[in-house]
Structure 1
């Protein structure tokens, strides 16, 4: 017998499911958005009439034509988890098969800045003069993102207490549920010392109280993620690395990808065991596990070529030993 549900019952179950997940320490903010969408769909389609859960899930998954498979798969996973939760109280509750949305891995290929493009972006940031965005600040922000692989939000939210230039470490506070300490090179530490001297002058000139955040605007106020993202995107458009309109092309987030790929490439060129290094890079980037870092192994032809050459050298040595 098929499982039947109503929008009201589904909303109640979704609320209990979210409370259950959060009691275990899972934020589930994105999942809440997905479940709200699912409940609204059921209410719009069926009102308060009961409907077969199997049909509802299938219709909801296919409600928008042409969506990316990974997006459908991620949303479907949340709804399937809800169905599994409902089975706790109803052993016969329908649970959709994974075949409804089989693709789980993203096919998105990030844009990887070349070193020349990073230098061009850094030069453009240094020369920028705006009403609130200023060159020294954008230069330091760009350097922090590229030299540490920080996410834009992590870099923008750094506070002065998170910066220990004597020991050359930066502390990322509670990002993605955890904090991490990042060692930095001496040249980046020196760049940050120079920026902090400029920062003190900006605060003196503006007469503003120190907001305690590392990155500030010309009026002395705290830099926001939105403002930083807009400024960096404008620089990318000016350099021709991003179209004048639309969301395609390079993004500020790509500095994180460039850091990872350039670091892996340097290790490969040094002859290091790249796979053995992955856990270190994963921890530095703040990934939940090493699987999130492995995607960078296939990010550039250069890295693949190095891997191919290493494998060929290894094969030749084995043939000579026979």
Structure 2
């Protein structure tokens, strides 16, 4: 199999990294995130390792160091990937160290949920961003549309930045997402207002002679390059600061991904306000945001109750076994 990433990696591990990614794809395993993380590992190895393909304890320890503003889950996933890659090396007869997995509480991390006022402030400040002619590769150009899309649909930032114009059907108001986090494709509907915002964005790109062909990326810089996640995150930090949102939440701070969490909580709130039964609404939300099971979506029930106390007061006790995160109003309020 010819891999177009064969020249992407530069360290002594480059050949084996490509083989490992090919192996993951052959097994129908989600490889996009692994490829991004292995590119980071390759850069570290390129700077520190000159010979020998096996992973040493020293290199594994360096990779496993806690990064600034990193969640315990992200660190766990990084080390877990390196452990699997090291095991792959061993299967190919290469002596390689297997790093130990760190312990962490999967339920300890609490995302930041924006209030409706904060969302309004974020929209306002994103609209004020300007791109200087000297910085035509800046991501600021896309922020007003991108932030509204993330909040109104709940899609992941990686899914948004991977969109091409052929994936955005503005006539029917449908996004087509390919190879999502769980290696599945899915369709995401757009609201009428979001559809109009996207149309205005495309019209602006056309007036600026920025590519809008089917195979071109939907979110690009003014010079036509695909937006990078890091650049988007930096622009989002500027917006948060100008909006007066300075929370150092849960050590990792407020993140772009919290727009997805906020979408889920605000959506559940609206559904509860409309009187829609959780028994029916939770599976819909689960499918819409691309979760594989109710357990992944379940925590949003608790977050919704915490942000809107009493909103779940009419939930029938019979659903307790379906939504164990719920603390019903006539039961104890002890934390889970």
Give 5+ residue unaligned stretches, structure 1: 1-15, 46-59, 86-99, 317-322
1:198 counterpart residue number: 204
Task: Specify whether residues 253 and 79 from structure 1 end up closer, same or farther in structure 2 by C-alpha distance, changes over 3 A only.
Answer: closer
Note the alpha carbon deviations across 1:274-299, whole angstroms, 9 max, x for none: 24322221221122322221121112
Deviation at 1:130, TM superposition (A): 2.2
Equivalent in 270, 284, 290 of residue 286 of structure 1: 290
Deviation at 1:253, TM superposition (A): 1.2
The 3-state SS of whatever aligns with 2:163 is coil
Matches within 5 A, 1:5-44: 23-26=26-29, 27=31, 40=55, 42=57
TM-score normalised by L of structure 2: 0.64
Matches within 5 A, 1:154-233: 154-176=159-181, 177-203=183-209, 210=212, 212-233=216-237
| 1:73–1:104 CA contact under 8 A, matched in 2 | no
Matches within 5 A, 1:1-322: 23-26=26-29, 27=31, 40=55, 42=57, 103=104, 105-131=106-132, 132=136, 133=138, 137-176=142-181, 177-203=183-209, 210=212, 212-242=216-246, 248-300=252-304, 301-303=306-308, 305-308=310-313, 310=315
Note the alpha carbon deviations across 1:65-111, whole angstroms, 9 max, x for none: 9x9875786678779989x99xxxxxxxxxxxxxx977552311000
Task: Specify whether residues 288 and 186 from structure 1 end up closer, same or farther in structure 2 by C-alpha distance, changes over 3 A only.
Answer: same
Distance 1:64 1:156 in 2: 28
Distance 2:128 2:114 in 1: 20
Answer with 127-136 or 286-295: which moved more. Answer: 127-136
Task: Specify whether residues 220 and 250 from structure 1 end up closer, same or farther in structure 2 by C-alpha distance, changes over 3 A only.
Answer: same
The 3-state SS of whatever aligns with 2:225 is coil
Deviation at 1:118, TM superposition (A): 0.8
Deviation at 1:267, TM superposition (A): 0.8
Give 5+ residue unaligned stretches, structure 2: 1-18, 46-53, 89-100, 320-327, 330-336
| 1:127–1:135 CA contact under 8 A, matched in 2 | no
Which has more helix, going by share of residues?
Answer: 1
The alignment of Structure 1 onto Structure 2 pairs a total of residues equal to: 276
Task: Specify whether residues 170 and 249 from structure 1 end up closer, same or farther in structure 2 by C-alpha distance, changes over 3 A only.
Answer: same
Distance 1:239 1:144 in 2: 19
Task: Specify whether residues 291 and 116 from structure 1 end up closer, same or farther in structure 2 by C-alpha distance, changes over 3 A only.
Answer: same
Task: Specify whether residues 31 and 136 from structure 1 end up closer, same or farther in structure 2 by C-alpha distance, changes over 3 A only.
Answer: closer
Deviation at 1:113, TM superposition (A): 0.7
Distance 2:186 2:225 in 1: 26
Task: Specify whether residues 304 and 218 from structure 1 end up closer, same or farther in structure 2 by C-alpha distance, changes over 3 A only.
Answer: same
Answer with 281-290 or 177-186: which moved more. Answer: 281-290
Distance 1:179 1:143 in 2: 22
Distance 1:191 1:121 in 2: 16
TM-score normalised by L of structure 1: 0.66
